[in-house]
Structure 1
Amino acid sequence: MSGSDQLRQLLSKKIPKSAVNYAVELWEKEPFSFKATASRKTKLGDFRYRRDRKIQTITINADLNPYQFLLTYIHEIAHLHAFVRFGITIAPHGPEWKSTFQQLLIPLLSTDFFPIDILIPLRKHMKNPKASSARDLFLMKEMSKYDEKSINSQIIFLSDVKPGNRFLLSGREFEKGETRRTRVLCQEVNSGKKYLIAQLAKVKPISD
C-alpha cells in the first residue's frame, strides 16, 4: 500500500469524507510523515521543521472531532508549506504562515465540508487566523457541539459559568471572578490563591 493510500485510509476515519481527496492532494504536493497521537492538553496538533530530516512529521490529537481534526490538519500543513516556501527563519505564526493557511483553507470554506454553524465563525477566524483555533471562543464553542458526548454531560466551558459561581477543574474547587480578555481571574477555594484560567477551559459547575 502506498503512502497516499495509507493516509487516505487513516483520514477517511478522521475527517469529513468530502475533504479526504483534498487532504491527500496536499500530502502529494509536499509529502510528510503523519501520526494521530494520544490527546495532549496543551495542543491539538504539532509540526516542527527539522533541518536534519528530509521528510517532516505532523501529529494531530486522535480524539478531535472530524471538523476540528480537518482544521488542525490544514493548520499544520500550512506550517510545512510556509517553511518550504519562505525558509526556516520565518516566525511560526507570522504573516507567511497566515497567508499560506488562508490559501490552503479557502477551498474548504463551504457547507460541502463544514456545517454552517461552524462555517460562520470559521470564515471570520480565517480573516486573521490565530496561532491556535482554541483561542477563538466563538469558533471553539461551535466546534465543541460535534465532540463525542462526554461521559459527564455536566462539563461546560468556563465562559458559561456565571461570575461568583464555583466550579471544579482538575479536582480543585474555584470561584469565578472577572474576565480579562481570553482568561478569567478565579480563586481557588481551599488556598485562597488566584489564577488566570482560559475561558475555554472545560469545567464542572458546582450547584448551590
Structure 2
Amino acid sequence: METNTITVKLYRFLVQLLKHIFLALSKYIPEKALPLIEYLIEEHKVTLKIVGQRQTKHGDFRHLPNGKMQITVNNNLNPHQFLLTLVHEIAHHVTHKKFGRVQPHGKEWKTVFQHLMLPFLQPEIYPLSILPHLANYLKNPKASTDTDVNLSLALRYGMAEEGKSFIFEVPNGRVFKFKNILYKRGNKRRTRYECLNLSNKRTYLFNQNAEVILVE
C-alpha cells in the first residue's frame, strides 16, 4: 500500500514538473509549436535547461558526470530561433539514443533532424518570410544555421542585435569591433568579406551575417 502511495505521489510530482517546464517554454517558442514540443520532450525524456547568452553557440547537447544527458538553449533567442535550436539539440539526443556514438552532424543526425522538424514546417509556426529558407536549409542541414546566410538573416527578421550592424552593412574601409578585436572591412568575396585584423595585420573572412560594432 505504501509503495502505491509513493508511486502516485511521484507521478503527480512529475506531472507538475512537466507543466512547469511547458509553461516556461511558452515564453520562448511560437504558441502553435508548443503541443509538438511537449510531445517530443515527453516521448524522448528530454532534460532541458534554458541558459544565458553564449557568444559561440545557441545551444548544445552534452553528457553530464552523473550519466544523464542534457540539452541547453540560450534564453536570448527569438521564438523561431529558439524552436529551431531546441529541435536541433533534441535531434542530437534522439540520434545518440538510436545510433550511439556517430558523427555529431553526420547522416544519422541529419535524417533525425529532418524528421523531427517536418511537423513544424507550417505557416502557423514559421512565417512565409522564413519558411522557404528553412525548407531549403533542411535539405542538407549543417552544424549551425549561421552558415546559411539567407536563413540566418530571415530568422533574425533582417535586424541585427541592438547596437550592432551586419558586416554587409559596414562601409568598405570602415573599422569595426568583433569579440573585442578591431578590424577594417575589405572587399567581398563570393559570400564572405575580407577583414583586416588591426592587431596582427592578418586578413580574416567574415560571413556576411556576422554582427559587429561600428567604431566611430
Which residues of 2 match residues 42-81 of structure 1 at below 5 A? 42-49=56-63, 53=67, 55-81=68-94
- 2:116 is matched with which residue: 78, 90, 104? 104
Structure 2 Cα separation of the partners of residues 147 and 22 of structure 1: 28
Which residues of 2 match residues 150-161 of structure 1 at below 5 A? 150=162, 152=163, 155-161=164-170
- 2:32 is matched with which residue: 18, 35, 45? 18
How far has the Cα of 1:172 moved from its partner? 4.2
1:168–1:203 CA contact under 8 A, matched in 2: yes
Tell me whether 180-189 or 109-118 shows the greater mean CA deviation. 180-189
Partner of 2:135, secondary structure, is helix
TM normalised by structure 2 equals 0.83
Report the residue type matching 2:153 in the other structure. Answer: K
Residue 86 and residue 167 in structure 1: after superposition, are their counterparts in 2 closer, same or farther (change >3 A)?
same
Which residues of 2 match residues 136-155 of structure 1 at below 5 A? 136-145=148-157, 150=162, 152=163, 155=164
Answer 1 or 2: which has greater helix percent. 2
Alignment partner, residue 34 of structure 1: 48
Report the residue type matching 1:79 in the other structure. Answer: H
Please say which structure displays the higher CA radius of gyration.
2
**What RMSD in Å do the two structures reach over aligned CA positions?**
2.4
Structure 2 Cα separation of the partners of residues 142 and 79 of structure 1: 24
Residue 197 and residue 122 in structure 1: after superposition, are their counterparts in 2 closer, same or farther (change >3 A)?
same
Structure 2 Cα separation of the partners of residues 84 and 132 of structure 1: 22
How far has the Cα of 1:15 moved from its partner? 0.4
Structure 1 Cα separation of the partners of residues 161 and 135 of structure 2: 26
Alignment partner, residue 4 of structure 2: none
Which blocks of at least 5 consecutive residues in structure 1 are unaligned?
none
Report the residue type matching 2:212 in the other structure. Answer: V
Structure 1 Cα separation of the partners of residues 204 and 50 of structure 2: 32
How far has the Cα of 1:156 moved from its partner? 1.6
Which residues of 2 match residues 108-147 of structure 1 at below 5 A? 108-145=120-157
The alignment covers a number of residue pairs equal to: 202
Structure 1 Cα separation of the partners of residues 165 and 160 of structure 2: 14
Structure 2 Cα separation of the partners of residues 143 and 165 of structure 1: 26
Partner of 1:164, secondary structure, is coil
Structure 1 Cα separation of the partners of residues 168 and 128 of structure 2: 23
How far has the Cα of 1:48 moved from its partner? 2.0
Which blocks of at least 5 consecutive residues in structure 2 are unaligned?
1-12
Alignment partner, residue 167 of structure 1: 176
Residue 136 and residue 38 in structure 1: after superposition, are their counterparts in 2 closer, same or farther (change >3 A)?
same
Report the residue type matching 2:147 in the other structure. Answer: R
How far has the Cα of 1:149 moved from its partner? 6.3
Partner of 1:14, secondary structure, is coil
